[in-house]
Amino acid sequence: MAPPTFPELFNLADYCLFNRLKEGRGNHTAVRFGNRSYTYDLVATVSRALRGHLLARGVTREGRVLLLLHDTPAYPWALFGALHHGCVVAMGNPDAPPADLAYLVEYTRAQAVIALTRTAVSLGPALRDDDLLRTVVLVPEVETGGDVTTKVEHPEDLQGLPVSSLQEALAEGKAHMKDTPRPTRRDEVALWLFTSGSTGKPKAAMHAHRDFAFNTEVYAKGTVGYRPEDVTVSVPRLFFGYATGTNLFFPFAVGATTALFAERPTPEVLCREIERHRPTVVTNVPTMMAKLLDEDLARTAVGKEPLDLSGVRFHLSAGEALPPTLLSRFTERFKTDVYDGIGSAELFHIYCTNRPGDVKPGSLGRAVEGYTLRILSSDAEGPGAPELPTGETGVLWVKGDSVAFGYFHDRDKSWGTFHGHWCRTGDLFRIDGDGYLWFSGRADDLLKVGGVWVAPTEVEECLLQHPAVSLAAVLGYEDEGLVKPKAYVVLRDDARVEAATEEGARVLAEALKAHVKERLSPHKYPRRVVFVGELPRTDRGKVDKKSLKDAEARGEAPRGY
């Protein structure tokens, strides 16, 4: 089957939003937020008004627009309004530390910043240093179901800056609304997707309009099968490319409905939204899947109704490894499919995945049609190097029409990652004889213990097979100059009682070590076990092993048992 192609003049806002009006779906619900509903007609009208505001304030075509918002209706309004104007959109976490947000303002040199009011206030000095700034649009912070167009006052800390409330921006923009999208070309830059920053400051992978449409066609429509009648809910927030696709671009591209909520995604909040909206597609992550199982057990233990996920057609999983043990527990309890896959900011979204009727637990499935995978040795200098034999572990290279142009202002890292149509992921995998991809970790995550390489993911999966363990993260620590595995473990509720005393924790730690020794090569067992209430997370929802490693390096990490 030939890969999808797109016309020379092409705009992502047209593809995702305005084409739904042409198809007669204007009255269909595009967004739900609490008990409020917003049709495609309404989203299009407000997006045009925001585009009009950008035009009135002198924001130029290809000017950069930085979004720092919670998951509310203002997000699609701002995103599609900026794309409609031909701008380049960058997205960040509004709850990130001020220094991290200031870095984004300086890095993007944004002409427009659309942000929560408190986030904009924290950025006051950085905004004053942005000599390209044309407008700051303030969006009120509301609980799910609130009115995001409620007028906000201009804070004193932002006096002298070109500030408007969202309500004021929409009123001004209505006089400058345009009915047709900007005549952008398919290969103009549309979005910057930031890497997680796990090895330094986040850097932006620059993507064209057609990159997003390509993956939507081959993955969302062609592989997992989004439908117009779907309702979607997401654990990851919209600033993360994983959710930008699954909970905005993908449902919009088929005329479905996305349900948004503003709060931090806890099990309680997610359960509330699932009960309210009865979604058919849930964008999930392994950590939340484990928490949902714990929440279900906690409810039944006190005589409450168990969780009802019966309306969900499938859950998506990405961002971190999905252990087969967790997958088995989840699917057996909730009787629903989970399609685990892998993607990256460099390729926008998922390029290899499990899919309907084809799930191999523990694997990341097969390549999405339109993408080509190769496993090469770690010292391969280009995609033309010989492939490693089937089943041998090496670095994954991916070819596909959603590959980014490169990293903004970082030629050296771009040269190491992007090779024409190909992307060197830096992740270690093997492909079996049937074409299924198996993750072995990041090349820089492997531990050399006693002269033999150890993949932390293998030890983590083994720990998860123990009935006391809910989550685990394994990394290396130095002991008299030697590297040894160390496990940070989150216990299930019933096991926490057992480990509440010093002696109980010590006994359980020894039991976990013995559990790994019995199932894996003896050198792989964790020499130390640390019991924690939670594992630290990046703003993308991944386990933040960098913060754990930094604590180890500073000598501030708990010793464990």
Q: What is the pLDDT of residues 298-355, one digit of tens each?
A: 998 899 999 999 999 999 999 888 889 899 999 999 999 999 999 999 999 999 999 9
Contacts of 163 (CB under 8 A, 6+ apart): 120, 135, 136, 138, 154
Low-confidence ranges of the chain (pLDDT < 70): 179, 181-182, 196-200, 442-444, 448, 450-453, 480-481
Question: How long is the chain?
Answer: 561
Q: Compute CA 490 distance to the chain's CA centroid, rounded to the nearest angstrom.
A: 22
Q: Are the C-beta atoms of 214 and 3 separated by less than 8 Å?
A: yes
Q: Which CATH class is domain 447-553?
A: alpha beta
Taking CA atoms, 204 is separated from 115, 132, 196, 293, in Å, by 19, 19, 10, 35
348: phi > 0 → left, psi -120 to 50 → alpha, else beta; which?
A: left
Sheet arrangement for strand 112-116: 163-165, 135-139, 112-116, 64-68, 88-91, 189-194, 204-208
| Cα separation, 520 vs 549, whole angstroms | 24
Q: What is the CA radius of gyration of the chain?
A: 24
**Helical ranges in 37-162 per DSSP H:** 40-56, 74-84, 98-108, 117-122, 124-128
pLDDT score, position 520: 85
Q: Which CATH class is domain 14-208?
A: alpha beta
| Cα separation, 485 vs 137, whole angstroms | 48
Other C-beta atoms closer than 10 Å to the C-beta of 203 total 20
Contacts of 492 (CB under 8 A, 6+ apart): 294, 297, 467, 468, 469, 470
Burial label, 527 (beta-carbon count in 10 A; 0-12, 13-18, 19+): middle
| Cα separation, 352 vs 244, whole angstroms | 18
| Cα separation, 377 vs 331, whole angstroms | 35
* In the block, residue with structure tokens 């990256």: 344
pLDDT score, position 331: 96
Measured N-to-C along each axis, helices 267-277 and 286-301 cross at an angle, to the nearest 10 degrees, of: 80
pLDDT score, position 443: 64
Contacts of 277 (CB under 8 A, 6+ apart): 32, 231, 233, 259
pLDDT score, position 230: 98
Structural domain boundaries in the chain: 14-208, 447-553
pLDDT score, position 466: 93
CB neighbour burial string for 140-161, b if at least 16 within 10 angstroms, e if fewer? bbbebeeebbeebebeeebeeb
DSSP 34: T
Q: What is the pLDDT of residues 200-254, one digit of tens each?
A: 688 999 999 999 999 999 999 999 999 999 999 999 999 999 999 999 999 999 9
